[in-house]
């Protein structure tokens, strides 16, 4: 009886909210705010559980055996990451989650291919697996898993209220933004992360919910853990205008280091996935054991390494130690994550960049002490430069570099280094670490869409063959009448031989509507049309067509003959392209399942 009453109440509430959401956007704003609070709490819970698991895994054996004993240093320390890896391996195998990584690329896939639909078990699975992996010393960051957990929370909220696909995608993005914002205490960077990477596009309607979820998540975390920046570092500024040149060179160096990280990561990924023949349960344990052995001699590589980064920023690490940590962190992270550990690349990339900047800054300051700042300033700039290059996201890391340090004076060097490092990285590959990981699963994302799907669909399969054309000598009044009776927004203009010679859009008409109505019989179509026409052919694929749509931000393109670029065959609409893409994605998903 009680269950029936509760079920009835739930259905009534859901029905009421669905009715509201079908007419108003205000619910989406409220939902984003609530999601932000939930995500902020999730970040707090994850951080507390990580601390508890880490203190238990490392603290108890050190008390029993002694922190300086050989048993603890040379036996227990290597086995702790291996034990954590074993837990992750068993969970991944038992709950069949091996096809998903813990990286931030998963929310990108959810938004682009899955229509925002995420399995709810992702929330608790990723939470527990990350606690076991990072708490036992695995080399990785908590930010990628947090983006997944919070993105899955957004999807779960949308599914509860049976929201549309577009709103589900948006809530996944809101969750990812909230997770990143709370994890780094950086709300602006969280917003840009979602716009730049997860959703791949920007519009005003989606921007407001993303901002609200990001702000609420950060506020919630600060309420419980305090408003403490990720790094506490001295205030640095440009010593000389010539110093910008050194930061540009640092950006180039960081781009090369990011490339090394990229290659090492996928070499490890291939080794554990293809060459190491063992049960999937044991794979993360083997990786954890290797990392544990490295950690015996360099415990700084365990976890995300925020304390070590803080030491580097404050000049407490000598350059040769920092130099060694660059390579050891690359190796340890590649092994940890390549063996299917549950961690992200954000924190390791920040760590590697911090050490790279510190080493470079030490050399620069030694050679040119009068025109360069201390090594800590370069370490601060390097924090964002390697990550910007690794994931091709300079804007996110420029803003994150500022928010992590709270020092606006360093913004110009950060901008210079992030842009240069990203440019260097793109010279090696068009794929970032995130998109390459997805590409190896047959998913090629560009601007939030899988171009491998769009490459297979031809324009001729989607275009509308019925075309409303406008003769070039048609009077303006007749043009107005024709447009008023049509659903189209763009109309190819043709000459006396019915050949394409321009295009008339509603925007062209609006410009002349401001003039006197006496022009209706004086002005003809040719005088208001755009003569430079961007066209496609039926042989083009939808990916090529979308590139042309974005060239000048138009909604329709004329389709012309491949043999005769002035012979009109149809019209292609951006809406029709997106609809065809969604249908093909659905078919692909059904085949995979």
249 and 367 both lie in a single domain: yes
Q: What is the pLDDT of residues 361-387, one digit of tens each?
A: 999 999 999 888 888 889 999 988 999
Residue 587: the pLDDT is 67
Contact 230, 184 (CB under 8 A): yes
484 and 585 both lie in a single domain: yes
Residue 533: the pLDDT is 86
Q: Who's near 186: CB < 8 A, 6+ residues apart? A: 180, 218, 230, 399, 400, 403, 404
pLDDT at 98 over 90: no
Rounded Cα–Cα distance for residues 406 and 232 (Å): 9
Q: What is the pLDDT of residues 41-74, one digit of tens each?
A: 999 999 999 999 988 888 777 777 776 777 677 7
Mark which of 418, 445, 472 sits at the end of a domain: 445
Contact 143, 344 (CB under 8 A): yes
The DSSP H or E segment spanning 170 is helix 165-184
307 and 289 both lie in a single domain: yes
Structural domain containing residue 467: 455-592
pLDDT at 342 over 60: yes
pLDDT at 336 over 60: yes
323 by Cβ neighbours in 10 Å (0-12 / 13-18 / 19+) ranks as middle
Q: Select the highest-mean-pLDDT range: 22-36, 355-369, 574-588.
A: 355-369
What CATH number has the domain bearing residue 121? 1.10.3080.10
Rounded Cα–Cα distance for residues 181 and 212 (Å): 11
Task: For residue 339, give both structure tokens.
Answer: 């063996």
Rounded Cα–Cα distance for residues 219 and 592 (Å): 40
Average pLDDT of every residue of the chain? 84
Q: 141 has which bridge partners?
A: 344
More confident residue, 414 or 204: 414
Residue 516: the pLDDT is 46
Q: What angle do helix axes 204-225 and 165-184 make, rounded to 10 degrees?
A: 40
441 and 459 both lie in a single domain: no
What CATH number has the domain bearing residue 504? 3.10.580.10
pLDDT at 576 over 80: yes
408 and 484 both lie in a single domain: no
Lowest-confidence range among 40-44, 442-446, 586-590? 586-590
The residue-averaged pLDDT of 16-21 equals 51
In the Cβ-directed half-sphere of 71, how many Cα atoms lie within 13 Å? 6
Task: For residue 1, give both structure tokens.
Answer: 């009886």
Q: How many domains does the chain have?
A: 3
pLDDT at 400 over 90: no
Binned at pLDDT 50, 70 and 90, residue 93 comes out as: confident
Q: 490 has which bridge partners?
A: 505
Q: Is residue 236 part of a domain?
A: no
Q: Who's near 550: CB < 8 A, 6+ residues apart? A: none
The residue-averaged pLDDT of 78-85 equals 89
248 and 153 both lie in a single domain: no
105 and 163 both lie in a single domain: yes
Binned at pLDDT 50, 70 and 90, residue 511 comes out as: low
More confident residue, 237 or 262: 262
Rounded Cα–Cα distance for residues 104 and 27 (Å): 27
pLDDT at 515 over 60: no
Residue 461: the pLDDT is 87
Task: For residue 341, give both structure tokens.
Answer: 């550990």
Contact 453, 581 (CB under 8 A): yes
Binned at pLDDT 50, 70 and 90, residue 530 comes out as: confident
The residue-averaged pLDDT of 189-211 equals 81
Residue 318: the pLDDT is 93
433 and 289 both lie in a single domain: yes
218 and 318 both lie in a single domain: no
Q: Is residue 50 part of a domain?
A: yes
DSSP-derived letter for residue 275 is I
- SS3 label, residue 559: strand
**Phi and psi at residue 344, to the nearest 5°:** -110, 175
113 and 212 both lie in a single domain: yes
Residue 588: the pLDDT is 65
Binned at pLDDT 50, 70 and 90, residue 539 comes out as: confident
Residue 216: the pLDDT is 94
Q: Is residue 235 part of a domain?
A: no
73 and 190 both lie in a single domain: yes
> pTM here?
0.82
Q: Quick one: what percent of the chain has pLDDT higher than 90? A: 30
- SS3 label, residue 540: coil
Rounded Cα–Cα distance for residues 579 and 586 (Å): 11
Distance of CA 464 to the CA centre of its chain: 35
Q: Is residue 237 part of a domain?
A: no
Mark which of 397, 423, 445 sits at the end of a domain: 445
Mark which of 445, 463, 491 sits at the end of a domain: 445
Contact 502, 452 (CB under 8 A): no
Task: For residue 330, give both structure tokens.
Answer: 């690359």
Q: Quick one: what percent of the chain has pLDDT higher than 70? A: 88
Task: For residue 398, give both structure tokens.
Answer: 């420029």
Neighbours of 228 (CB within 10 A): 10
Exposure string of 301-319, with b = 16+ CB inside 10 Å and e = fewer, is: bbbbbbebbbbbbebebeb
18 and 44 both lie in a single domain: yes
Rg (CA), the chain: 28
Q: Is residue 199 part of a domain?
A: yes
Rounded Cα–Cα distance for residues 419 and 1 (Å): 63
Q: Is residue 233 part of a domain?
A: no
Rounded Cα–Cα distance for residues 445 and 173 (Å): 16
Q: Report the chain's terminal Cα–Cα distance, integer Å.
A: 38
Rounded Cα–Cα distance for residues 559 and 535 (Å): 6
Q: Select the highest-mean-pLDDT range: 15-29, 83-97, 267-281, 317-331.
A: 317-331
Measured CA distances, 460 to 450, 457, 580 (Å): 20, 8, 12
Binned at pLDDT 50, 70 and 90, residue 447 comes out as: low
Task: For residue 583, give both structure tokens.
Answer: 């249908």
Q: Is residue 574 part of a domain?
A: yes
Binned at pLDDT 50, 70 and 90, residue 450 comes out as: low
Rounded Cα–Cα distance for residues 585 and 593 (Å): 12
Q: What is the pLDDT of residues 139-188, one digit of tens each?
A: 988 888 999 999 999 999 988 888 888 888 889 999 999 999 998 888 88
Q: Is residue 548 part of a domain?
A: yes
């Amino acid at each position: 009886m009680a269950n029936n009453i509760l079920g009835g109440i739930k259905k009534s509430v859901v029905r009421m909210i669905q009715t509201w959401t079908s007419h108003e956007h205000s619910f989406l704003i409220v939902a984003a705010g609530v999601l932000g609070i939930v995500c902020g709490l999730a970040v707090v819970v994850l951080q507390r559980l990580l601390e508890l698991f880490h203190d238990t895994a490392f603290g108890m054996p050190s008390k029993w055996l002694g922190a300086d004993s050989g048993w603890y240093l040379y036996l227990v320390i290597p086995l702790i990451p291996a034990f954590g890896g074993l837990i992750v391996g068993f969970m991944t195998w038992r709950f069949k989650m091996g096809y998903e990584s813990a990286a931030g690329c998963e929310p990108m896939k959810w938004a682009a291919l899955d229509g925002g639909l995420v399995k709810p078990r992702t929330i608790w699975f990723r939470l527990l697996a990350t606690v076991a992996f990072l708490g036992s010393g695995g080399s990785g960051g908590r930010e990628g898993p947090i983006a997944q957990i919070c993105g899955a929370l957004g999807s779960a909220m949308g599914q509860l209220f049976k929201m549309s696909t577009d709103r589900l995608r948006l809530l996944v993005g809101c969750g990812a933004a909230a997770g990143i914002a709370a994890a780094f205490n950086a709300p602006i960077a969280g917003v840009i992360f979602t716009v730049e990477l997860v959703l791949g596009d920007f519009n005003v309607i989606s921007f407001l919910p993303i901002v609200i979820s990001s702000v609420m998540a950060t506020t919630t975390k600060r309420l419980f853990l305090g408003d403490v920046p990720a790094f506490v570092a001295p205030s640095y500024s440009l010593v000389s205008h010539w110093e910008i040149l050194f930061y540009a060179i640092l950006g180039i160096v960081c781009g090369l280091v990011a490339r090394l990280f990229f290659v090492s990561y996928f070499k490890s990924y291939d080794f554990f996935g293809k060459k190491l023949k063992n049960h999937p349960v044991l794979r993360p344990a083997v990786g954890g054991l290797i990392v544990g052995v490295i950690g015996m001699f360099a415990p700084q590589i365990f976890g995300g390494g925020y304390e070590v980064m803080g030491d580097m920023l404050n000049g407490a690490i000598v350059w040769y130690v920092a130099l060694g940590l660059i390579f050891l962190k690359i190796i340890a992270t590649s092994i940890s994550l390549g063996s299917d550990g549950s961690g992200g690349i954000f924190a390791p990339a920040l760590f590697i960049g911090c050490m790279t900047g510190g080493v470079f800054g030490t050399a620069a300051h030694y050679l040119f002490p009068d025109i360069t700042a201390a090594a800590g300033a370069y370490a601060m700039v390097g924090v964002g430069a390697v990550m910007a290059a690794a994931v091709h996201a300079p804007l996110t890391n420029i803003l994150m570099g500022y928010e992590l340090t709270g020092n606006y004076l360093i913004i110009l060097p950060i901008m210079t280094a992030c842009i240069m490092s990203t440019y260097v990285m793109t010279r090696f590959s068009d794929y970032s670490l995130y998109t390459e990981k997805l590409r190896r699963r047959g998913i090629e994302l560009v601007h939030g869409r899988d171009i491998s799907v769009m490459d297979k669909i031809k324009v001729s399969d989607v275009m509308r063959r019925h075309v409303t054309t406008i003769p070039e000598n048609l009077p303006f009044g007749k043009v107005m009448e024709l447009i008023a009776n049509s659903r189209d927004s763009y109309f190819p203009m043709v000459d006396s031989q019915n050949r394409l010679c321009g295009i008339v859009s509603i925007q062209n008409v609006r410009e002349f509507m401001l003039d006197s109505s006496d022009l209706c019989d004086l002005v003809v179509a040719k005088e208001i049309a755009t003569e430079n026409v961007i066209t496609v052919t039926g042989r083009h694929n939808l990916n090529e067509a979308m590139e042309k749509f974005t060239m000048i931000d138009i909604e329709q393109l004329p389709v012309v003959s491949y043999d005769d670029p002035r012979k009109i065959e149809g019209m292609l609409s951006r809406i029709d392209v997106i609809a065809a893409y969604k249908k093909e994605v659905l078919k692909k998903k059904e085949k995979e399942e």
